[in-house]
């Protein structure tokens, strides 16, 4: 399938059409784990002078660099202006833009559309409902349990007008996990979409506070056609009925007078891949910064639309998309990602970009800038570049460093004086961001989690000097001599085998290059008596096809060193993911290579070499698995 399908070529060629898709955010200069891994053997990452191989390319870099500086200056001026209007929150930002672009379309969803004026009126009704019916006030927390649809944005905008924090709840949760996230939110009011009532019913039985009256549950249907089961009204209230009784005018800003930019607008939860989800405090200032960042760096205009398929209860879908509103543009919202409907949406809403054709796309249509970003919801630092690298003159303003990390011992390497060591060019280390909770700065603020102990675990102290504090990203990265950063792996995903560090992303990239592969994830499994962990690749082939074993052996042998080649291959129909589409590796690691506990086919892989000319896949059975575990079968 080509990009031209469903897109107007003339419109694509226009440089002022910023076509962004939050489902496929790609780098202007792609960074690969293969290049990063090369650094471990003392090689410079990819010999990056190739990135500037021509005068034209150099001029493009200088030009985009100049734009980057201009954008940074404008953002600084905007922040200074916003902070002077104290108090000033995201609700004030929204009211400013909704007044400025009152007739522009702000939100598109299926066959619905809202202008800025209509969206603001709907949010005002929610704010007035919250003040009078739900008895909410500044500083309170409301839990929002709703799929992607306009009412999601209407609800939190209304809450922001009151100075209320909205806890964004993962719509895939039910039972005990849902009970957990509701309780740790410290909310006592739940706003729920009718589509989530079945999920909540399983939790309601154990969440006794609902029946005891401590929780107030409101069903917000909005424009949804399906009414909830009448039984729901035994324990829930009809929010729509009450909304119709309230006016659509802006609530007095005095209702949020005590709320500052550094106060939490949202509670957004971690994915929970290493335990129960933790609520991260996301301030008005951080969300405002996200909006400004994309607005300024992408040069968005009122004609631009941002297509959102990611869940709005997480940062990418729920906050980065808001930058369209700074320019008077529109958010195109989809209930959930659909590969089959993607191109239909691209035709319908005139938006589209595939990550695997970024270079040809940019050159063919003359698009100079494709943005790349790196960050974490709870983090205090992020990287966003026009050209994939951090200019040296901005380095002091962006307190992001790479420090030496011992993967085998799961510890930072320190000097005799007890301080961490910054990585030289080409060496892999953990990315850290200096914590500086100055409300007048955009970077450095770390709001942490609602749990102080969880917050403490993410802070590294005495890094370069006594008493300094840095946020731990938990990511391994590398930097080349031109300043390009390369993501290598997550700490915990990287494992050691045969005395070497294996970057799972590097292995995944190679296997993903094979034909008929839908997805792949690589992880290490322990084997009794062996140091480190043996690599296993869980592969989901395209439905109706099988893994091409001969091609797999050829490509993996040619492109990966012996220690990085997976010892086992597990063929799956699909690979479980979290709500943010991250592979759930923890569960796969726990299952190991036990053929009786796993219904999928598992193979022991022998690669071409001195013992065999062609290599082989051997189906793992109980006898072979026991022989491996007992050290009777050499791997």
User: Domain 104-351: what homologous superfamily?
Assistant: ANL, N-terminal domain (3.40.50.12780)
Q: pLDDT per residue over 101-133, tens digit each?
A: 999 999 999 889 999 999 999 999 999 999 999
The pLDDT confidence band at residue 586, using thresholds 50, 70 and 90, is confident
| Contact in structure between 193 and 224 (CB atoms under 8 Å) | yes
Q: Which residues pair with 533 in a beta bridge?
A: 526
pLDDT 10s digits, 127-176: 999 999 999 999 999 999 999 999 999 999 999 999 999 999 988 887 77
Chain-centre distance for alpha carbon 589: 22
CB 160 within 8 A of CB 89: yes
Instruction: With 0.75 as the threshold, say if the pTM is over it.
Output: no
Q: According to the model, what pLDDT value does residue 126 have?
A: 97
pLDDT for res 116: 98
Choose the weakest-confidence range: 167-181, 390-404, 489-503: 390-404
**Chain centroid, CA 111 distance in Å:** 27
Q: Are 273 and 523 in contact (CB under 8 A)?
A: no
Label residue 362 left, alpha or beta by phi (over 0 means left) and psi (-120 to 50 means alpha). Answer: alpha
Q: What pLDDT is recorded for position 392?
A: 53
Residue extent(s) of CATH 3.30.300.30 domains in the chain: 495-630
CA dihedral defined by 264, 266, 272, 277, rounded to 10 degrees? 70
Average pLDDT over residues 442-451: 72
CATH class of 495-630: alpha beta
DSSP annotation string for 402-426: EEEEETTTTEE-B-TTS-B-BPPTT
Is a pLDDT exceeding 80 seen at residue 65?
Answer: no
Domain with CATH 2.30.38.10 in the chain: 398-490
Q: Which of 502-511, 612-621, 623-632 holds the top average pLDDT?
A: 623-632
Range with lowest mean pLDDT among 256-265, 469-478, 484-493, 544-553: 484-493
The backbone torsions φ and ψ at residue 402, rounded to the nearest 5 degrees and listed phi first, read -115, 130
How would you classify the pairing of strands 264-269 and 279-283?
Answer: antiparallel
Q: Which two tokens stand for residue 4?
A: 């031209």
Cα separation, 423 vs 138, whole angstroms: 45
The pLDDT value given to residue 361: 60
Residue among 523, 304, 492, 284 nearest 405 (CA): 492
The reported pLDDT for the residue numbered 213 is 55
Q: How many CA atoms lie within 13 A of 104 on its CB side?
A: 19
φ, ψ for residue 580 (rounded to 5)? -105, 25
Binned at pLDDT 50, 70 and 90, residue 23 comes out as very low
CATH code of the domain made up of 398-490: 2.30.38.10
By residue count, the chain amounts to 635
């Amino acid at each position: 399938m080509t990009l031209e399908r469903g897109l107007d070529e003339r419109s694509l060629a226009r440089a002022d059409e910023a076509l962004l898709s939050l489902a496929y955010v790609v780098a202007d200069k792609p960074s690969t784990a293969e290049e990063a891994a090369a650094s471990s053997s003392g090689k410079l990452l990819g010999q990056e002078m190739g990135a500037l191989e021509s005068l034209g390319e150099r001029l493009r870099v200088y030009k985009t660099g100049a734009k980057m500086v201009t954008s940074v200056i404008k953002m600084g001026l905007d922040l200074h202006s916003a902070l002077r209007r104290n108090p000033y929150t995201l609700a004030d930002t929204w009211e400013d833009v909704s007044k400025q672009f009152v007739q522009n379309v702000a939100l598109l969803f299926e066959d619905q559309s809202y202008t800025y004026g209509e969206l603001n009126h709907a949010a005002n009704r929610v704010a007035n409902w919250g003040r009078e019916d739900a008895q909410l006030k500044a500083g309170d927390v409301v839990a929002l349990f709703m799929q992607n649809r306009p009412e999601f944005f209407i609800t939190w905008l209304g809450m922001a007008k009151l100075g209320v924090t909205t806890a964004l709840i993962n719509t895939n949760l039910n039972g005990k996990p849902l009970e957990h996230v509701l309780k740790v939110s410290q909310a006592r009011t739940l706003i729920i979409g009718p589509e989530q009532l079945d999920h909540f019913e399983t939790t309601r039985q154990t969440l006794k506070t609902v029946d005891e009256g401590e929780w107030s549950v409101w069903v917000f249907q909005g424009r949804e056609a399906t009414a909830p089961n009448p039984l729901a009204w035994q324990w829930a209230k009809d929010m729509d009925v009450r909304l119709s009784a309230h006016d659509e005018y802006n609530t007095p800003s005095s209702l949020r007078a005590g709320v500052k930019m550094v106060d939490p607008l949202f509670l957004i939860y971690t994915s929970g891949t290493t335990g129960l989800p933790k609520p991260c405090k996301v301030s008005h200032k951080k969300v405002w910064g996200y909006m400004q960042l994309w607005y300024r760096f992408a040069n968005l205009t009122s004609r631009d639309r941002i297509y959102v398929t990611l869940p709005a209860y997480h940062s990418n879908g729920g906050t980065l998309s808001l930058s369209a509103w700074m320019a008077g543009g529109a958010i195109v919202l989809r209930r959930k990602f659909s590969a089959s409907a993607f191109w239909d949406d691209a035709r319908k809403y005139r938006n589209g970009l595939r990550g695997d054709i970024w270079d040809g796309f940019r050159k063919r249509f003359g698009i100079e800038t494709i943005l790349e970003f790196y960050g974490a919801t709870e983090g205090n630092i992020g990287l966003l570049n026009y050209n994939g690298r951090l200019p040296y003159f901005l380095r002091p303003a962006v307190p992001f460093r790479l420090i030496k990390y011992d993967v085998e011992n799961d510890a930072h390497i320190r000097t005799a004086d007890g301080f961490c060591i910054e990585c030289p060019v080409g060496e892999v280390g953990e990315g850290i961001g200096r914590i500086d909770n100055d409300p007048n700065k955009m970077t450095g603020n770390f709001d942490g989690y609602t749990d102080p102990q969880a917050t403490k675990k993410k802070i590294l102290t005495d890094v370069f000097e006594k008493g300094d504090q840095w946020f731990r990203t938990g990511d391994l990265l590398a930097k080349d001599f031109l300043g390009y950063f390369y993501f290598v792996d997550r700490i915990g995903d990287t494992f050691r085998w045969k005395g070497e560090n294996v970057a799972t992303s590097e292995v995944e990239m190679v296997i993903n290059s094979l034909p008929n592969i839908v997805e792949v994830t690589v992880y290490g499994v322990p084997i009794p008596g062996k140091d480190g962990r043996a690599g296993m690749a869980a592969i989901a082939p395209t439905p109706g096809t099988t893994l091409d074993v001969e091609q797999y052996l050829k490509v993996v042998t040619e492109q990966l060193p012996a220690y990085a080649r997976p010892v086992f291959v597990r063929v799956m129909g699909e690979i479980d993911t979290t709500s943010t589409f991250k592979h759930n590796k923890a569960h796969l690691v726990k299952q190991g290579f036990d053929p009786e506990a796993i219904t999928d086919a598992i193979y022991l892989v022998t690669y071409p070499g001195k013992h065999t000319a062609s290599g082989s896949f051997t189906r793992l059975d109980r006898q072979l698995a026991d022989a491996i575990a007992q050290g009777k079968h050499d791997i």
